[in-house]
A = this chain, B = another copy of it.
Amino acid sequence: MPLPTADTAAAALVALRERNPLVQSLTNVVSANFLTNALLAAGATTALVDNPREAGEFAAVADSVLVNLGTPTEEQARAFTCAVSGARGPWVLDPVAVGGLSWRTEIADRLLAHRPAAVRGNPSEIGALAGLESTSRGVDSSADPADSAQASRKLLDVTTAAAASGAVDHITGRTADDEVATVRVHGGSGYLPRITASGCALGALSAAYLAVTDPFTGLVAAHAHFATASEAAERHCSGPGTFIPAFLDALAATTPDDLRATRIDVL
C-alpha cells in the first residue's frame, strides 16, 4: 500500500459520502453541537451515546467511535471503557489536555491499552501521550507540530496512525505494507484555532473517515477535508463568528476534486 496522498484522500471522501458512516461520539459539552453539525455537513452522522448503560451496546452497531477527553464525568469515564471494549469498528482517541491534567492523563493511559486505531491531538497532547514532557497550559498548544513527529512514531506501538494538528498538520502512520512515514497536510485557515471545538470536530471527522478507509489514509483525508473547507470558509466570512456557519457550508460543499488539489507531502 502506498502512502496517503491527495488522491487517496479524494477517494476516501467519495466513500464517506456513499456510506454515510455512523460515528458514536463520547465528547465534551463544548463540542457536542458543533461536532455533530460538522459530521452531518461533511457526509457522516453521529450519536452521542456516552452513558455506561448504553455505550457498549451502541458501540456494537456504530461504524466507528470517537473518545474525546475534554470534559469527563465519572459516568462518561466508565462509558469510555464500555465503548472502546465493545466497539465493532475502529475507535479514535482525542486526548484533550492530556499531560496538563492528572485524571484525564490516567484515563488516556488506561484507554491506550485498548489500542485506538488512531489518535488525533494538538502537538503538546500528542507529546504528552507519548510520555514526553508537556508544556501545555490547557487545551491550546504552542508546541510545533513538526516536533511531534517523533512522539507520534512512539505512539505507533499502540495505534496505527497519529495526527498532530496545527498550522501544518503532521500525520504519522503505518501502512498495510508496514511502512512508517510522516505525511504533512498544508493549508487551512487562521480562523480554525479562533473558534472552539474545531479540533474536536476534526477528531470526530477522523473517526468518520476511519469507518471507510485505513487509519493512516483516514487521518490524512479528514485533515485535508478540514484544510480545504476552512480555506473556502475564510473567503466567505467577516470574522470568527461568521466563519462558523461558512465552515459548515464548506464542509458540505467540498468535492473530491477539492481534496485532490490539497497540498500533501512526505516529511
Q: B-contacting residues of A (Cβ < 8 Å)?
A: 22, 28-34, 36-37, 40-41, 45, 47-51, 53-54, 57-58, 61-62, 70-75, 97, 101-104, 137-140, 194-197, 236-253
Contact = CB atoms under 8 A, between A and B. Distances in A.
A187 B267 CA distance: 52
Given A33-B33, A248-B240, A102 B57 contact: yes
A249 B244 contact: no
Given A239-B249, A241-B252, A249-B239, A195 B37 contact: yes
Contact of A28 (B37, B48, B237, B252): B48
B33 A197 contact: yes
B101 A36 contact: no
Contacts of A137: 22, 61
B238 A242 contact: no
A36 B41 contact: no
A20 B93 CA distance: 29
B242 A249 contact: yes
Copies of this chain in its oligomeric complex: 3
28 contacts: A28-B48, A29-B32, A30-B32, A30-B33, A30-B48, A32-B33, A33-B197, A36-B197, A37-B196, A41-B240, A41-B241, A48-B71, A49-B138, A50-B71, A53-B103, A57-B101, A57-B102, A61-B137, A62-B138, A239-B250, A239-B253, A241-B244, A241-B245, A241-B246, A241-B250, A241-B252, A242-B249, A245-B245
Contacts of A253: 239
Contact of A70 (B22, B48, B242): B48
Nearest to A75: B73
B71 A51 contact: yes
A200 B160 CA distance: 37
Contacts of A251: 241
